[in-house]
Amino acid sequence: MKMNRDRHQEIIEAALAAGITDIAAGELPDIAAIAVNLPEEILRDLRYAWAMAIRLPDPVVESVIDKPSELYSFWYRRANYLLDQAALKVAGLLANIGARALPIPSSQIVHWEKQYGHFPHRAAAVAAGLGWRGRNNLLVHRKYGSRVRLSTVLTDAAPFEMSAPLAEDCGECINCLPECPAGAIGMSWTEWKGPECYAKLREFSKIPLIGQYICGICVKACGPREQNGGER
C-alpha cells in the first residue's frame, strides 16, 4: 500500500496539532535487525517509520547543572506522554486507511541492565533525516541538537514521500565530551561507554523527586545550532 498526498499530509498536520515539533517519514528495510526486542511476527512488513520529535524548552534543559533537575525530570515525563498520545493518533489514522501501524512507546524500558526500549527511536529519526547519531549516542537534531524527545510509528504503508538520512555529523563539535559526568563519551558514538552511563543514571535516579534514569547534562551541552555557532 502506498499513501496518497492527502493522507500523508493529514498525518503530518495531526502530529503537529498534537504538539509534535518535527515529523518525517523514512524507510527501515532491516527493521527486524533494529527492533530486536520485538517479535518478528509483529514486525512483519513494518518497514516504514514515522519519526516524531518534541523540542524540550531551553530554560528547562538549562536548569540541569551537574545533575538532572526536578524541572527537567517533570517535563521529560510530560514530553514522553505527549509523544505517546501523538503516536497513538498517527497509528489510528494509518489504521483508518487499512494499514498496519505500531506506535512505539517513547520511553518504556524492557531491558533494565542495558536500558533498552522496544525500539531505538534514534534509528527511525536518522532514517527520516531528522538528525544524526551524535558522539553522545543520542540523536542530534538538525536544528535543535539533542534537546528533543522522540517517538516512532512503524507501518507497512509506504509514505507519499520519504526523507533520506542526512550527510552530516557532529563535525568538530565536542561540547558534550568534557561535560559527561560518567566519562562515557568519546570522539565517536562507537566509543560511547554504556555501562558507565547507566551507572550514573542509576545514581541520579535515587535523587529525591527524580526517580527515573535520566541525566540531561549532554543534552544541555548539545544545544540548537544558533547556540553552537551555526555549525557542528
pLDDT reading at 113 higher than 70: no
pLDDT tier for residue 228 given thresholds of 50, 70 and 90 = low
Is 31 in contact with 156 (CB distance < 8 Å)? Answer: no
pTM (2 d.p.): 0.92
- Pairing of β 48-55 and β 22-27: antiparallel
CA distances from 198 to 24, 118, 180 (A): 30, 17, 12
Alpha-carbon separation of residue 50 from 77, 105, 163, 196 (angstroms) = 21, 13, 10, 31
Across residues 101-105, what is the average pLDDT?
95
Write out the H or E segment, with its range, that includes residue 10: helix 5-17
Q: What is the pLDDT of residue 100?
A: 96
CATH for 1-232, options being 3.40.109, 3.30.70, 3.40.50, 1.20.120? 3.40.109
Looking at every residue in the chain, the average pLDDT score rounds to: 92
Q: How far is CA 1 from CA 23, 46, 97, 154, 187, in A?
A: 21, 11, 10, 14, 42
Query: What is the arithmetic mean of pLDDT over 14-36?
Result: 93
